[in-house]
Amino acid sequence: NEELCVCELTQALDLAQPKISRHLAILRENNLLQDRKAGLWVYYRLHTDLPSWVHHVITGVQAGCQGKQPFANDAKRLETATKASQTGKACG
């Protein structure tokens, strides 16, 4: 249920914003993600209508990647980015 904005993903993945936006658009067009616009920001989350088997696959992939590089560094940066967003110190 967690939403993430493009700037949080940019910080977490250490990739350029256009590249992340392009990939998010593909995932949205294929109904894997939903977006919500709030002013200048666009927030993404997993589509609420995904079949249960897709959630199982995602959960399995997350479990398999947890604590392994480079995913552990990505997760740490994502945590930092989301904390910064919650305090109003990110995305701008």
Confirm whether 92 is domain-assigned. Answer: no
pLDDT at 44: 96
Find the domain containing 41 and state its range: 4-86
Count how many Cα atoms sit within 13 Å of the Cα of residue 87 in the half-sphere of its side chain. 6
pLDDT at 3: 94
**CATH number of the domain bearing residue 27:** 1.10.10.10
What is the biggest distance separating any 2 CA atoms in the chain, rounded to whole angstroms? 37
| pLDDT at residue 23 greater than cutoff 80 | yes
| pLDDT at residue 38 greater than cutoff 70 | yes
Structure tokens at 87: 């305090």
Query: Total domain count for the chain?
Result: 1
Residue 44 exposed, middle or buried by CB count within 10 Å (0-12, 13-18, 19+): buried
Confidence tier at 91 by pLDDT (50, 70, 90): low
Predicted confidence (pLDDT) per residue in 42-54, tens digit: 999 999 999 999 9
Torsion of Cα atoms, 59 then 53 then 2 then 40, to 10°: 120
Which residues make Cβ contacts (< 8 Å) with residue 51, sequence separation at least 6? none
| pLDDT at residue 92 greater than cutoff 70 | no
Confirm whether 12 is domain-assigned. Answer: yes
